[in-house]
C-alpha cells in the first residue's frame, strides 16, 4: 500500500502541531512545529510524493512553515475538506485511492475514509483512530509526521 501513495495530505492542528493554540500579547497566533517532521516532509517530497496541507484554520505561521518546507499545495480556512481534497486530486491527476490523509479529529474523517490510506496520529479522537487504516505511535506535533514519512518511504512491508 505505501509504495502506491502519490499524495500525502496533512491536517495542521493536532497533526503538524500538538493541537494547542497559542496567542501572543497582540492576539497573534503562534504555532510550534517539530523539526523532525520537516525533515520527513522534505524526504517524501524528494522521493516524488506530493504533499498538501488542508486545514480548517488559516494561519500565517502555517503559510510560512509550508513555504519553508516546499509544500506547494496549502489550503487553509477550509470548511469542506472532502471537496478540497477531491478538487486537489483532480488538479494533480491523482486518484483519491493513491492518497494518504492524516488527521486527528472529526473534521478529518471525510478525508480519511475517502483516501486510499487514512492515518490517525496516536492521540487522535477515538472515532478517527477507529476509521484509520494506520495509527502512529507518536502523537501529533511530536514527530508523528516524521514517523509517517519514514513508514511511507520504507515500503509496504514495514
Beta-carbon contacts of residue 94 (< 8 Å; ≥ 6 apart): 6, 7, 50
Q: Which of 20-34, 52-66, 92-106 comes out lowest in average pLDDT?
A: 20-34
Give the CA radius of gyration of the chain. 14
The pLDDT tens digits for 13-30 are 999 999 998 988 998 888
pTM: 0.94
Domain coverage including residue 52: 2-154
Q: pLDDT grade, residue 80 (50/70/90)?
A: very high
CATH number at residue 78: 3.40.50.1000
Report the number of distinct structural domains present in the chain. Answer: 1
Total Cβ atoms within 10 A of residue 37: 26
pLDDT, averaged across the chain: 94
Q: pLDDT grade, residue 110 (50/70/90)?
A: very high
Is residue 52 within 8 A of residue 71, CB to CB? The reply is yes
Amino acid at each position: 500500500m505505501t509504495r502506491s501513495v502519490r499524495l500525502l495530505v496533512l491536517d495542521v492542528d493536532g497533526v503538524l502541531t500538538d493541537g494547542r493554540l497559542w496567542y501572543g500579547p497582540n492576539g497573534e497566533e503562534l504555532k510550534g512545529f517539530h523539526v523532525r517532521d520537516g525533515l520527513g516532509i522534505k524526504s517524501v517530497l524528494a522521493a516524488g510524493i506530493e504533499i498538501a496541507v488542508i486545514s480548517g484554520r488559516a494561519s500565517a505561521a502555517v503559510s510560512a512553515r509550508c513555504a519553508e518546507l516546499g509544500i506547494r499545495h496549502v489550503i487553509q480556512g477550509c470548511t469542506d475538506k472532502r471537496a478540497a481534497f477531491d478538487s486537489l486530486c483532480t488538479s494533480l491527476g491523482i486518484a483519491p485511492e493513491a492518497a494518504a490523509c492524516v488527521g486527528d479529529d472529526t473534521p478529518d474523517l471525510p478525508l480519511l475514509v475517502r483516501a486510499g490510506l487514512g492515518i490517525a496520529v496516536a492521540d487522535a479522537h477515538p472515532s478517527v483512530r477507529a476509521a484509520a487504516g494506520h495509527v502512529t505511535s507518536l502523537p501529533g506535533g511530536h514527530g508523528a509526521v516524521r514517523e509517517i514519512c519514514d513508514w511511507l518511504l520504507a515500503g509496504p512491508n514495514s
